[in-house]
Each structure stands twice: as structure tokens, then as C-alpha cells.
A and B are shown apart, each in its own frame.
Chain A
Amino acid sequence: LAKTTQPISMDSYEGQEVNITCSHNNIATNDYITWYQQFPSQGPRFIIQGYKTKVTNEVASLFIPADRKSSTLSLPRVSLSDTAVYYCLVGRYSGYALNFGKGTSLLVTP
């Protein structure tokens, strides 16, 4: 399984764009990249998933360079409610044996 490295924590002000980068140097050909969000006292919630280039949904964008050895989750104009832990996961589409680790704790302040 590809190992991921992401910052332990990040701080931002309301209204700013936040970019969280995840490194996954040994990503395999069939691996997808998936990001989850977890609020306190809740289970993680799927945000976005991609394989290559750029993916965008109503919540975030995911940028994946051509070599796929890293990915960047972009949250546009964050609000206080975006304060959460964000997890980057890399795995094969049928390989659910994924460890979330500790993720990136994002704190958004006024």
C-alpha cells in the first residue's frame, strides 16, 4: 500500500483558499487518491476522489500532477465550519485496506 505524508496541522483565516498537499511517492498504477474530512465526534466523510489531473466538485478541488506522486486538496474560501481533520488516502480501487493515520488538522479562525 502506498504510504502518504501530509502536514500535521494548518491554520487559515476565513475566506482564504487552503491547499493541503499529500505526498505518495510509491503510488501504484491502479491506485486512486481519496480525501476525507472528519469533524469532532463524527466519522470521516468522503470529500473527493481522483486518479489524475484535476477533479472538482461542489466542496473542493483535487490537483494531481502527471507523476501522481503527490496531490493537493484545495478548499476555496474556507469558513469556520471547515475546521476539521483532512485525510489523504491512496489505494487500489478494490483495495479497501487503507489506514487513515492522523491526517491534517485544519483550524480556520475569523
Chain B
Amino acid sequence: DAGVIQSPRHEVTEMGQEVTLRCKPISGHDYLFWYRQTMMRGLELLIYFNNNVPIDDSGMPEDRFSAKMPNASFSTLKIQPSEPRDSAVYFCASGSGLAGEETQYFGPGTRLLVL
């Protein structure tokens, strides 16, 4: 398996623009997570899905952020409009959710810079 795939790997945009981050989880995993990492706040969970259904989105900072998972092999995280404070590395992770196997597999991340 290729692991969790994220695109783009780098994104530079201007304030006010829409940004869409994409994630392909590992096949067979039924949990998908979106994280954001900054120096100030560390690695924060934004939202996670189970069987394509959002379970907990309490980490989503505000209405400018939205996430979807239309099928088991694809998810998007959208920021509209983007702001400079959204600059961070965004990670997607997936997991199987099997009993006793609480392992999350992370993608390489998308480094976002909002000017």
C-alpha cells in the first residue's frame, strides 16, 4: 500500500482565496483524521470521520473550515476564505479502528502558507 496520500504537498496562496487540501486514506481503513500543526499550538485534531461520517468536528477553528468525505477513499479539507493565521502544516491520517489497534497512519502533510 502507498500509505496515506495528500495533495498538494505545498500551497502558497493569498489571503481571501479558497484552499482545498486532499487526502486519500489507506485502503480498508474506516477512520480518517485531519490535523493541523503549528509551532505555537503543536499538533491539533481538527475533525475525524468514521465510515465517511464526521464524528467530531469540535477542533475545527471556525466556519471558514469545512471537511468532507464523499467516499471511503477520498476526503477534502477546505478553507474559505483563507487567512494568514491558517498557515500551518495540515496532516491527514487514517486508521482501522480494530480493537487494540489504535494506530493512526499519517500522510506527509500539506504545508500551507497564506500571504
Q: When each residue 40-71 of chain A gets 1 if its CB lies under 8 Å from chain B and 0 otherwise, what string results? A: 01111110010000000000000000000000
Residues of B within 8 A of A101 (CB): 42-43
Check A32/B102 contact, CB under 8 A, given A96-B48, A97-B56: yes
Interface residues of A in 67-85 (CB under 8 A from B): none
B97 and A94 contact, CB distance less than 8 A:
yes
Alpha-carbon separation in the docked complex, A3 to B50 (Å)? 23
Q: State the total of A-B contacts with C-beta under 8 angstroms.
A: 67
Count of B residues near A, CB < 8 Å?
Answer: 30
Count of A residues near B, CB < 8 Å?
Answer: 23
Question: Interface-forming stretch among B13-21, B63-71, B105-113?
Answer: B105-113
A43 and B91 contact, CB distance less than 8 A:
yes
Q: Point out residues on B near A: beta carbons under 8 Å.
A: 4, 31, 33, 35, 41-45, 48, 50, 55-56, 58-59, 91, 93, 95, 97, 99-109
